[in-house]
Amino acid sequence: MARIAGGLGTSHVPMIGRTIAANKQQEVSFKPFFDAYGPVHEWLANAKPDVAIVFYNDHGLNFALDNMPTFAIGAADSYDNADEGWGPPEPRSFRGAPALSWHLVQSLVADEFDISVCREMLFDHAGITALDLLFPGQDIPVATIPIVINAVQPPLPTPLRCYKLGQAIGRAIRRHASDLKVLVVGSGGLSHELGEFGKINEPFDRMTMEKIVAAPEDLTRYTNDEIVDLAGAQGLELMTWIAMRGAVEGAVNVVSSIYHAPISHTGGAMMLIEPTAKG
Ligand code: DHB
Ligand code: FE
């Protein structure tokens, strides 16, 4: 059966992608953030995942306010990039895993998650930055499946719903008749509000990271409004970490973790976890 090798939560501000593209990771104020990826790269060299399932929030590329799915999954052969927040990017294309996407879709709908299915989808900076952090300066060696969570327009899915979505994805992966090794990524956060520079809540972010490891259910008790009050409107990107943690069930070891604030307008963070019991 397929298995989940690990889960990564990461910030995705375009400045991170831009720094990687310029190969200036050692020159910027948030160098410690990049340094914390060293153990992640070692882990990847051993774990060799085949597929990355990337939970993120679409930043207006695929869905505008007139057509906003709560949850959407890509089921395409490949995903092209588009705006990454810094003007026209170089054209890139990311390999999909459509057979696994369709398995997830069928399993999710049977599990009462009526997810939107996208035969075409653009990858924005949220997905791409995470992939470039994992594989800097390389062609991305894993197949990708984007899963978008509405973190923009009410009514928003609750933290509990996002956690359950992650759990349903985890069940679907563990039921897939293959030897695929899957890395689940949650790309977002942590606290920030783009209209309000400096809306960073470090104690809340640090508490969140501890809970992701040891007591993720505690995070599902927050309402969306409470998260906005505590962590800013874009603090809702935390949903991507919560979904990731739902997929990586049970006790976990932390392979690497960092909190660095600010990175651009955000409380920047990264955490790689792996299941304590290796399946
Ligand atoms: C920034 C943060 C984001 O989450 C994003 O999607 C774009 C920009 C920022 O802080 O610059
Ligand atoms: Fe964002």
Using the atom order of ligand 1, give the atom closest to the CA of residue 262.
10
Q: Whose CA is nearest to atom 1 of ligand 1?
A: 13
Identify the pLDDT of residue 21. 86
Of the candidates 125, 176, 260, 265, the residue annotated as catalytic is 125
Identify the pLDDT of residue 127. 94
Annotated active-site residue 125? The verdict is yes
pTM: 0.97
User: Which secondary-structure segment (H or E) carries 72?
Assistant: strand 71-74
Q: Whose CA is nearest to atom 4 of ligand 1?
A: 13
Measured from the CB, is residue 13 less than 6 Å from ligand 1?
yes
Of the candidates 12, 59, 192, 265, the residue annotated as catalytic is 192
Measured from the CB, is residue 265 less than 6 Å from ligand 1?
yes
- Confidence at 8, pLDDT banded by 50, 70, 90: very high
How far is the first Cα of the chain from the last one, in angstroms, to the nearest whole number? 9
Q: Model confidence over 256-276: pLDDT tens digits?
A: 999 999 999 899 999 999 999
